[in-house]
Structure 1
Amino acid sequence: MKLSFSIIIPVYNRPNEIDELLESLTKQDFTHDFEVIMIEDGSTQKSDTIVDTYKKQLNLKYFFKENSGAGASRNFGMQNSSGNYFIILDSDVLVPSQYLFEVKKALEHNFTDAFGGPDAAHKSFTALQKAINYAMTSVLTTGGIRGKKQAVGKFQPRSFNFGLSQTAFTKTDGFSDLKIGEDIDLTFRLWQNGFETQLIEKAFVYHKRRSSLQQFFKQTFAFGAGRPKLNKRYPGSAKPTYWFPSLFIIGIALSIVIAVFGLHQFLYFYGCYFLLIFLDSLYQNKNICVSFLSMFTSFTQFLGYGLGFLQSWVFNKK
């Protein structure tokens, strides 16, 4: 099959991010044509003037619609695209120059109707953004499930960097109306319909994520809250590892209580774990500020996801 790519980008009140993303797309080392579909999801801070500055450099279509959420906006974009393979990106990513080349090469070598790619931190990101990226991608915090081939079996693509064939979109109707976990929900439906997914390791994007610990906590809380709902919707998909963040936080709380009575051994264990995170982040980022913040972002991730998971599990059990 001859591949023709349509890049789908929903956006909501983020014109500055769109400017950076579109600029990165103008720098692709890619000799084939591709189109970019921008869907403004009812924004009050519109990106139309920024989009206009790139229409001479990119095959770019811009749509404005009433707010309906990212999933519905992605579906709208795919419905109004001319390509036979869709690449879905979040508005807060930057695309390396080799991205489309690596996607095309991987799909020509091993075609699948869906793929996902990893994310990384760009050198221009703030220390906190780099620390958040570490927390979300490190083997010590997530087991490397977001982008390490040796850490995954059947890969579950994430919507910030998600590829989907036109055939698979037509068969599955794309993203559901879920607000959180809609990418995982789509992956399960792809598998149910006999489609395969893969991780393309070299097709990574630079992902800015959240700019404060409070925003990061809210995001990870939502991630945790979404997982029991997906487990209920897809019986048999639950794994014991989904409980790890909740058990981790419960363990810290119990260790503090026990330490009041003079038993500090369990707190020493957690102290050693966060020291290991500090050293690993220092080795990876070569920046002591980032490695220091990585301890806080890793704790925030466990706290947000763990509490969100517990709350949702309790309510979904009723």
Structure 2
Amino acid sequence: MISIIIPTYNRDEMLGLTLVSVVNAIEGIKAEVLVINDSPGRIPHVPAEIASKVQVLQNPKRGVGAARNFGVESSKGDYIIFLDDDFLVTQECLLGLRQLLIEHPDKIFNAAWIYPPDLLDEIRNQKFGRYLISEGFTSLQDRMKGLSWNNETIFERSKGVSSGILAISRENFIKTGGYAAEMVFGNDGDFSLRIKSAGLKPYIAPTITAFHNERDKMKLELWLNRRKFGIRQLVKHNMVEQPQFPLYKKAVLSFLSKNKGILNALEKAVPNMSAFDWAYKSVVNALFAVYLFEAYTSEN
């Protein structure tokens, strides 16, 4: 059996789309779908037409790591597929991952992912969307720019795993000891270390593709704050080293941090025309640097 485990937090619209795709994908397959709700005091909405095929469980702790661990504890399958609540999958994708786990019992697999074609078409008309495309945020292959990639066959992932769509056998998950339950965000780095300590290796399956449906995150401020929060979590749990900022750079970033309104005004002022994308990219990269600086230096 395949156990598909989906942590979620106040994201009903994206979750609903994900669940419809998953329920359609498991038609005729021995599988279970477990949604682990990480939002206290509310129950996520599941479309009525598929509600009978989905289990919704309340996370007894808090955080995506604890949610994934609880999902495994509550599941029955020999093969686990972790899925973020904004991924769309096909039956071919799920069966392909299961087959890889059967054929390679010592390996853990990430499927490749890309943005859905309709989302890509939509964001090409937005200056922030064009920024995401040009900077490589819309596919796993582009996110791994500068690292090895093989389109033909599975290959080892040199820098850990991502849990957005991750396939692992129950036996191997137990060997890792599971996710760090105290980490509410950004726990993939820690899980990657646990995988290595267990003598396992993560691989990418480039011919197996899912769609990363991040259509509710196409706003610059939301995107920047999410990345800032992620870095803060890594700093809090000593997963990254504090960078040493040269004095001149620290002074510039400190000034811009106190005067972000200038950069925000510039970002809004750049026309939504591809001819000005170079200017927009410069402003957004400056904002990105400021948010990362704040993530590393903020006490909160």
> Would the TM-score normalized by the shorter structure come out above 0.5?
yes
Amino acid at match of 2:49: T
2:187 corresponding residue in structure 1: 182
Match of 2:227 among 197, 220, 226: 220
Rate the CA distance shift 1:172–1:55 in 2: closer, same or farther, 3 A: same
C-alpha separation between the residues in 2 aligned to 1:140 and 1:15? Answer: 28
Query: Is the counterpart of residue 164 in structure 1 residue 168 in structure 2?
Result: yes
2:70 corresponding residue in structure 1: 76
Q: How far is 1:106 from its partner?
A: 2.9
Q: How far is 1:160 from its partner?
A: 1.5
C-alpha separation between the residues in 1 aligned to 2:189 and 2:235? Answer: 12
Secondary structure in 1 matching 2:25:
coil
Residue correspondences, number: 264
Rate the CA distance shift 1:211–1:33 in 2: closer, same or farther, 3 A: same
Residue by residue, what CA displacement relative to the aligned partner does 1:270-303 show, whole Å, maximum 9, x if unpaired? xxxxxxxxxxxxxxxxxx9789779857964674
2:18 corresponding residue in structure 1: 21
Cα pair 2:14 2:86 within 8 Å, conserved:
yes
Q: Point out the more displaced range, 26-35 or 70-79.
A: 26-35
C-alpha separation between the residues in 1 aligned to 2:230 and 2:160? Answer: 14
Secondary structure in 2 matching 1:204:
strand
Query: Is the counterpart of residue 61 in structure 1 residue 68 in structure 2?
Result: no
Query: Is the counterpart of residue 104 in structure 1 residue 98 in structure 2?
Result: yes
Query: Is the counterpart of residue 201 in structure 1 residue 206 in structure 2?
Result: yes
User: Structure 1 unaligned runs (5+)?
Assistant: 255-287
Q: How far is 1:119 from its partner?
A: 2.4
Alignment of 1:141-156 (within 5 A): 142-144=143-145, 148-149=149-150, 153-156=157-160
Amino acid at match of 1:170: I
User: Structure 2 unaligned runs (5+)?
Assistant: 254-271
Q: How far is 1:138 from its partner?
A: 6.7
Secondary structure in 1 matching 2:227:
helix
Percent identity, please: 20
Q: TM-score, normalised by structure 1?
A: 0.67
Cα pair 1:10 1:41 within 8 Å, conserved:
yes
Q: TM-score, normalised by structure 2?
A: 0.70
1:7 corresponding residue in structure 2: 4
C-alpha separation between the residues in 2 aligned to 1:87 and 1:108? Answer: 13
Q: How far is 1:192 from its partner?
A: 1.2
Q: How far is 1:47 from its partner?
A: 2.5
Cα pair 2:156 2:201 within 8 Å, conserved:
no
Amino acid at match of 1:218: N
C-alpha separation between the residues in 1 aligned to 2:105 and 2:278? Answer: 37
Amino acid at match of 1:175: Y
